[in-house]
Amino acid sequence: MKRYRDRFLKFLALERNAAANTIASYGLDVDRYLRYLQDREVALPDQVTEEHAAGFFLSLRDRGLSPRSVTRAISAVRGFHKFLLGDEVTRCDPTETLDTPKLARTLPGVLSPPEVARILEEPHATPGDKRQLWLRDRAILETLYATGMRVSELTGLRRTDLSARTGIVRVFGKGSKERLVPIGIPALRWIARYSQQCRPFLLRHGCADDAIFLNARGNPMTRMAVWKIVQAHARRAGVTGEVHPHTFRHSFATHLLEGGADLRAVQEMLGHADISTTQIYTHIDREYLKEVHRTYHPRG
């Protein structure tokens, strides 16, 4: 079964042009599925029945996984069986007629505009910091909020992706899909300050090619490094609760919709293939409307 799993992952990479993170996650999910089948003495793809697949789907809820992880695992297993069928390894798909278990859809955490402002304004110069890393941190935070991009998209930004003249940044999302996103003057100004006063100093210590955001060694930033920067400045700004790069993405979308932005435009800027993914933010928007009603209506 393992060799079919390896062929499936190669198919995702070569034929579907799936992102590296997606391939890695699907690999872990299929591995978990194959262990489940092995425990039930299922050694060949043709031996898998609907009962086996349904049992695995139900077992996911008992593992304490998040709804997002469960949904992804189910998608990985369905994709695996479709691949086996399409490659004529099997003659039927045991997941074809199965219903996906209903999962509670949780709303993402969102910052208020004042909280965003406090975090953005937190980075400041410190005595003895010749590298002026605070400029880099401010530019990172401004870019995350101005564009709603994912942390992996931010770390992959190149100087050639940014056009200060047009105010547009080119973003490469999941599956290397390209989209153009407005970035706004404040973020552009902070990127310019960082590029002039901080980045040249960092570049002396590494070989970052054309990457915009560099670490202290002059190499491209990692996702984990950006996570730590966001969390550190949120904590210093006195913002409670979980704050991470994706929180800025959620806040970006929510604040746009609360300001009257069109859902399709927000979908385009977020890079969502399906508008139903973007529609989760309309639920947050309704909560905002209810809060306004409670606050200002005489019978609220």
Show which residues are catalytic: 150, 174, 246, 249, 272, 281
Closest residue by Cα to residue 161 from 134, 186, 188: 188
Closest residue by Cα to residue 132 from 198, 224, 81, 190: 198
DSSP β-bridge partners for residue 170? 180
C-alpha–C-alpha distance, residues 210 and 217, integer Å: 15
C-alpha–C-alpha distance, residues 14 and 11, integer Å: 5
Q: Where are the alpha helices (DSSP H) in the chain?
A: 2-14, 20-39, 50-61, 67-86, 113-120, 133-147, 151-155, 185-197, 199-203, 223-236, 245-258, 263-270, 275-278, 280-296
Cβ neighbours around 280 below 10 Å, total: 16
Q: Which residues contact 83 (CB under 8 A, 6 or more apart)?
A: 7, 8, 11
